[in-house]
Amino acid sequence: MNGISIFLSEELTDEIREYVKSMHQIGFTGIFTSLHIPEDDASMYLERLTQLGALAKAEGMTLMADISGKSLEYAGFSLDLSDGQIERLKQIGITGLRMDYDICNQKIAELSHHLTIGLNASTITKSDIDELKQYGANFSNFQAWHNYYPRVETGLDKDVFIKINQWLKVNGLKVFAFISGNGKLRGPLFDGLPSLEIHRNLNPLAAYLSLKEYDVENIFIGDPMINRRTINQFDYYLNQQQIILEVEDISSQYYQHVLGEHVNRQDVARDVVRSAKSRMKMVPDIHREFTIERHLGAVTIDNCYYGRYMGEIQVVKHDLPRNNRVNVVGIVIDEDKPLIELITGGTRFKLVAERICQIQQ
């Protein structure tokens, strides 16, 4: 599942509604929100939660609400199963509750028979699992959600994250995690909302693909928005299985020649991404030009001094020395450079000149 986060600290504006629709159209199916934020005006929770639930239902999206022991009361609800409170939540569009603190395992077990329950992935223990089993919990309705971390330097360590996830999966729990946005960031710190610290300022698609490498299948954007350019990057990846890299022109006569669709070779090279069929293109002799140092993100083409390799197009994975047989044609913009290392064998990628937000699909 791919998801976004919409918070109740602000009104559900037309901009937010359009964002939700746009993200759903490209394949995001879940919404996350929070009901326990001390800075917010709790009196607005119910109205905004009801509006968000209606939007989620209209778009056919799930809605997971993060709660603590008291936060539902602020919005006019309780966890009492006897008076229809949970049914009221479901009626307004909430499909799940992520349990934070002050909620006992017996209550969590009871609720698991009525809706999806998100457990805190970073703090749940074996004794919690044993208690939930003892209380007859419905484990098919459980999900394990990692926190996001607003404060710089407090995000999870990658190796610890992987170990936790392995343990969670052994116990039959689906793992959920967050990546930062890059459009509208959430205050009061505005430093991103990732689960992993290494992802804090990363291109959101790069962070997304990185989590996929760690075998996390359920990924939510923690911040309120990603920008239009990144929405299009996600669209290309999710619906065309293609990674888009924007390439700056350095005034090479071969710049237009390297643009377009490529596929990385299955026999993955250590130093470069190799376009599998680039040498098969009909090209004139490629003369020596800009045979300069090849830095990370350099897009290159082999010139005539490379013999039968002439015309091969590559993207450089890390700094390499100059080679008189290799022309540097352009360079991947800084924002997209983290995507390069995530291009694996057989990955389709596209080198583009214009800003992605301007691409007509």
Element of type H or E holding 206: helix 204-213
Residue 122 to residues 148, 171, 196, Cα–Cα distance (Å)? 10, 14, 12
Give me the pLDDT at residue 70, please: 76
Domain boundaries, the chain: 2-240, 243-358
Q: Which two tokens stand for residue 192?
A: 């991103």
Give me the pLDDT at residue 284, please: 77
End-to-end CA distance of the chain: 24
Give me the pLDDT at residue 37, please: 61
Give me the pLDDT at residue 36, please: 73
d(CA 120, CA 125): 10
Give me the pLDDT at residue 156, please: 98
Give me the pLDDT at residue 360, please: 46
Q: Which two tokens stand for residue 314?
A: 């590559």
| Domain made up of 2-240: CATH architecture | Alpha-Beta Barrel (3.20)
Residues 143 and 176 sit within 8 Å (Cβ to Cβ)? yes
Topology (CATH level 3) of domain 243-358: Cyclophilin (2.40.100)
Residue reference for tokens 């509208």: 184
Q: What is the reported pTM?
A: 0.94
| Below-70 pLDDT ranges, the chain | 37-43, 282, 355-361
Q: What is the dihedral of CA 131, 135, 141, 145, to 10 degrees?
A: -30
- Pairing state between β 260-263 and 348-352: antiparallel
- 62 burial (CB, 10 Å; 0-12 / 13-18 / 19+) is middle
Domains 2-240 and 243-358 share a fold: no
Give the tens place of pLDDT for each residue, 332-344: 999 999 999 999 9
Residues 145 and 193 sit within 8 Å (Cβ to Cβ)? no
